[in-house]
A and B are shown apart, each in its own frame.
Chain A
Amino acid sequence: MKKEGTLTFAIVILIVTSIAGIAYAHWTGQVEVKVTAYIGCFTIRFINPLECSDNEATKNIGLSNCYYTEPDPIEGYKKLVIQISNAYPDYTVDCNFTIKNIGTTISTITNISIRDPDEKLRWKWITQYTEGFLWQDLNENDAYDPGEEIIYITITDLVNVSLNPGQIRKAEITTKILANAEECHSYGFEVSIEYES
C-alpha cells in the first residue's frame, strides 16, 4: 500500500514536471540549459624567505646550501633542496622555509613522510610528524637496532594545519648528522608534505 502511494507520488511529480517543462518550452520557444561548474583551486607552494644556517661558530668546515626549484607559474615553488657537503658527525643544518596557500580554497596538510630515494636508509619517527631519524640496517637483520642512526631530522608540526587562501606559514627543518654516518659517503632524503582541500 505504502509502495503504491510512493509510486503514485513519483508519477505525479514526473507528470507535473513534464507539463511544466512542456509549458515552458511552448512559452519561450526554446529550452536552454546552461551549466557552469566552477572548481576551486587549492595549491600550497614554497615561497621566500628561505634561510639556511649551520651550527659552526668558529670554523667553516661543513658547507650547506638551500634553494627552491620547480617554480609554479602562479607563485612560489614546488620543491626545496638542501645540500650539505663535507659533513661530519654533529654537523647540523637548520633551514627556515615559508609555505603559502596560493589557491582559492582552504588547504589542509594531511601527512608528512620521509624516505631515502636510494632506499639505502630507512625512516623511523620518534615523535610522529615532527622528529625522527634515517637509519641504515648495518647488521642486515631487517630491523632497527640502536647505533644504526645516520641522520636526525626535526620538522615543524604541519600535519592538520589548514591554510586559508593567501595565508602564509613559516616552518623549519633541522638536519643533524649522527655519529654512525660514514666518512666519504653520500646520503639522501626526501620529505613529502601532502595536502588536500
Chain B
Amino acid sequence: MKANKISVLFAAFAIVTSIIGVTYAHWTELISITGTANMGVQRVEIKCYKCGTFDCLCIKHSTVTCVLSEDKQTLNVEWKNVRPHSKLWLILVIENTGTIPVNVEPPSILFNPEEMHEYFRVYTIFFGPFDHLPQIPRDESSNPPDCWNFCRPPRLPVQLDPNQKLIMASCIKFTATCCDFYRLRGTTAEIKITLNYNQWNLS
C-alpha cells in the first residue's frame, strides 16, 4: 500500500515536471526599444517696426497708423489721404524666436478694399541676417564688418537661424493717375503685411 502511494506520487511529480517544462519552453520574453521625440518650435516675429510717409513736394498730406497684431505676425497699416506719388516706408525688424531655422520669403501684402492693389506698387528688400543688429558707423574710423551685409541685400529666401534678426524694408508707392485719384479720393487704404516663412530644409 505504501509502495503504491509512492508510485502514484512519483508519477504525479513526473507529469507535473513535464508540464512545467513544456510551459517554460514556450514562455515568451521580450526586449524593448523606447523612444521619445520632443518637437521644436518654428516661429518668426516682428520685434519692432517703423512706418513713415513721403509725399510729393515734401508736403505732408497722407498720414499712416501701424498696429502690430497680438501674435506679432502681421502689421496692420492704415494709410489716409493718399495722393498720386505718395510713398509709404515700412522698416521691420524680424527675429527667429523659435528653435528651428526658417526661410523667410517676401511678406504677403493684402489691400482693403481689395481692388485698390492695382494702384499700389510694392518693393521689398531684406538686410541680414544678423546675430546682433548692425551698428551704423558714426565716424569714418569705424569699420564694422556687419556693414557689408547691410549694404548687400541677400538673395531670397533668407535663411534665418534661431535668435538671428533680419531687417525688412518695404516701400509702397501709390501709382494711381489723377483720374483714378479723384475717383478714389476719401478712401482709406488698409494694408496687412504678414510674415511669410517656412522650415529651412523644406521647399
Are A99 and B41 in contact, CB atoms less than 8 angstroms apart? no
Q: Please measure, in the bound complex, the distance between the C-alpha atom of A84 and the C-alpha atom of B42, giving whole angstroms.
A: 17
A85 within 8 A of B: yes
A170 within 8 A of B: no
Task: From A3-11, A123-131, A136-144, A174-182, give the one contacting chain B.
Answer: A174-182
Are A188 and B35 in contact, CB atoms less than 8 angstroms apart? yes
Main secondary structure of the interface of A (DSSP, over half): strand
Are B28 and A196 in contact, CB atoms less than 8 angstroms apart? yes
Are A61 and B30 in contact, CB atoms less than 8 angstroms apart? no
Known: A37-B17, A39-B21, A184-B41. A81 touches B30 (CB 8 A): no
Are A184 and B39 in contact, CB atoms less than 8 angstroms apart? yes
A110 within 8 A of B: yes
B142 within 8 A of A: no
B141 within 8 A of A: no
Contact for A37 among B21, B33, B35, CB less than 8 A = B21
User: Of residues 31 to 87 in B, which have CB atoms within 8 Å of A's CB atoms?
Assistant: 31-42
Which residues of the partner chain B approach A181 to less than 8 Å between Cβ atoms?
Answer: 37, 39
Instruction: Name the distance in Å between A67's Cβ and chain B's nearest Cβ.
Output: 11
Which residues of the partner chain A approach B37 to less than 8 Å between Cβ atoms?
Answer: 84-85, 87, 151, 175, 177, 181, 186-188
Are B30 and A193 in contact, CB atoms less than 8 angstroms apart? yes
A122 within 8 A of B: no
Q: Please measure, in the bound complex, the distance between the C-alpha atom of A88 and the C-alpha atom of B101, giving whole angstroms.
A: 10
Which residues of the partner chain B approach A45 to less than 8 Å between Cβ atoms?
Answer: 31
Are B42 and A88 in contact, CB atoms less than 8 angstroms apart? yes
Instruction: Name the distance in Å between B195's Cβ and chain A's nearest Cβ.
Output: 16
Are A183 and B32 in contact, CB atoms less than 8 angstroms apart? no
Are B26 and A191 in contact, CB atoms less than 8 angstroms apart? no
Which residues of the partner chain A approach B123 to less than 8 Å between Cβ atoms?
Answer: none
Which residues of the partner chain A approach B38 to less than 8 Å between Cβ atoms?
Answer: 84-87, 185-186
Contact for A193 among B31, B35, B39, B161, CB less than 8 A = B31
Which residues of the partner chain A approach B24 to less than 8 Å between Cβ atoms?
Answer: 39
Are B31 and A79 in contact, CB atoms less than 8 angstroms apart? yes
A145 within 8 A of B: no
Instruction: Name the distance in Å between A196's Cβ and chain B's nearest Cβ.
Output: 5
Which residues of the partner chain B approach A183 to less than 8 Å between Cβ atoms?
Answer: 39-42, 98
Instruction: Name the distance in Å between A99's Cβ and chain B's nearest Cβ.
Output: 7
Contact for B28 among A88, A110, A185, CB less than 8 A = A110
Residues on A close to B: CB < 8 A? Answer: 21, 33, 35, 37, 39, 42-46, 59, 61-62, 78-90, 97, 99, 110, 117, 151, 173, 175, 177, 179, 181-197
Closest 5 CB pairs of A and B: A86-B40, A82-B35, A191-B33, A84-B37, A80-B33
- Listed by A's residue number, 22 A-B pairs whose Cβ atoms lie within 8 Å are A37-B21, A39-B21, A43-B29, A45-B31, A61-B101, A62-B40, A78-B31, A80-B32, A80-B33, A84-B36, A88-B42, A97-B33, A151-B37, A181-B39, A183-B41, A184-B39, A186-B39, A188-B36, A193-B33, A195-B29, A196-B27, A196-B29
Given contacts A79-B34, A190-B35, A191-B35, 15 further A-B contacts (CB under 8 A): A59-B101, A61-B40, A61-B99, A80-B33, A83-B35, A85-B37, A90-B199, A181-B39, A183-B39, A183-B40, A184-B40, A184-B41, A186-B39, A189-B34, A197-B25
